Copies of this chain bind each other. A is one copy, B any other.
Amino acid sequence: MALTLGNENVFIRRLARAPIYTVSIKKVAKIAGVSISTVSRCLNSPERVRDTTLAAVQAAIAQTGYAPNALARNFRRGKTGLIMVVLQSVGLPFWEGVMRGINGVAQEEGYSILIRETASSPPELDDYCKMVISKEADGVIILASPSPFSTPSAYATSDRRIPIVLGCENVTDELAHIPSVRVDNRRAAFEATQYLLQLGHERIGFIAGSRSSLLTRDRERGYLDAMQASALGQNRAWVTNGDQSIEGARRATRKLLSLAEPPTAIFCANDEMAMACIYELKRNNLSVPQDVSVVGFDDTRYAAIMDPPLTTVVQPTEEIGERTMRRLLSAIEGRDIGQAPEFVEHRLIVRESTAPRQTAPGSTQDVGSTQDVDGSRQQIA
């Protein structure tokens, strides 16, 4: 019996090792009694084939289970059918909508999506260009944030014909000619800050994302613009670095709270940092928005069910994805897509994490556990 088992194992191993049997166009042609070009035509332009021949070929295809070899087809056509999408990490809620948009168009147009995460290895534009040149992909969409490129790229500055589009992301001036689709981050941040000013806040903190990311630096500039435009002026102490991370935002919040005159409102460069900021505020027995108002950026899927629901800047993510992809496909087809950024509309969605300064607690939707309010912050001037 041990012997039988042994034999069976050998048999299974053989089976597993056997190459997957593949039918080529030749066999179909032979069975259908036609030439390989006719089979090819049946697949690619069936209207140019006589009905009876078509039927015969289709029968042969069904009989053999033939499926065209994509490797050969793509090789022959000189196209990979692949779009490389570069992002920091799969699993960040913000990209959900953008990817849905990209995928929708991709599916429509017969492309597949290649994912490249930059979380591990730093993104290098040259690498992506090389991948297009070496036909690993037909084009590149860069969503990576923060800091899309650590070094300036020879390709990017010299060779305009490599199809690359940025989604959401800004880029340093030297690479400013790379086309992008995004919101006007500076303006959106300007408006969000203005909203806090209108609520009567005077000490407004800002938690910046990664300093190396132009995207979040633009949001910082928008915030500074608004402060400058107000009577209050800029105060460098109110700008802290949240480092585009949960831990960084918590640190930044603590830093803001340690100021002699801590802010009564905090604008965070994205929702995730806003979430971390609120967490840290609560830890310090401050309520949101009674003690401190908080504004985020992105409106990710969790913004509406945070406690309190987050006031934040909405980006039309799916639209960004779609337009980025369409613009890239234009470039791939050889059209001139220019280099000007394509802007999409943002808007501020007001929920319950913001309130007028010195509002009495309980005036807004009073959700769940509000903590002791009077404690630590009498010196609100």
Interface residues, chain A, CB within 8 Å of chain B?
12-13, 15-20, 22, 67-72, 74-75, 78, 80, 82, 85, 89-97, 99-100, 103-104, 107, 112-117, 119-121, 130, 132-136, 160-162, 246, 250, 275-276, 278-279, 281-283, 285-288, 301-302, 305-307, 331, 334-336, 367-369
Contact B104–A120 (Cβ < 8 Å): yes
Contact A307–B282 (Cβ < 8 Å): yes
**Contacting residues, chain B, for A104 (C-beta < 8 A):** 120
**Contacting residues, chain B, for A121 (C-beta < 8 A):** 107
Which of B82, B275, B287 contacts A305, CB < 8 Å? Answer: B275
Give the CA-CA distance A279 to B12 in the complex, in Å.
Answer: 53
Which of B17, B71, B112 contacts A114, CB < 8 Å? Answer: B112
**Contacting residues, chain B, for A130 (C-beta < 8 A):** 67
Give the CA-CA distance A285 to B78 in the complex, in Å.
Answer: 63
Cβ distance A368 to chain B, nearest Cβ, rounded Å: 3
Contacts A/B (CB < 8 Å), 26 sampled? A15-B160, A16-B160, A17-B334, A18-B161, A19-B334, A22-B133, A67-B133, A69-B135, A71-B75, A72-B135, A82-B114, A89-B99, A89-B100, A90-B91, A91-B91, A91-B93, A91-B94, A92-B96, A99-B117, A100-B119, A100-B120, A103-B115, A112-B136, A282-B307, A282-B367, A287-B369
**Contacting residues, chain B, for A97 (C-beta < 8 A):** 91
Cβ distance A285 to chain B, nearest Cβ, rounded Å: 7
**Residue of B with least CB distance to A367:** B282
Contact B117–A114 (Cβ < 8 Å): no
Given contacts A114-B112, A114-B113, contact A96 B91 (CB under 8 A): yes
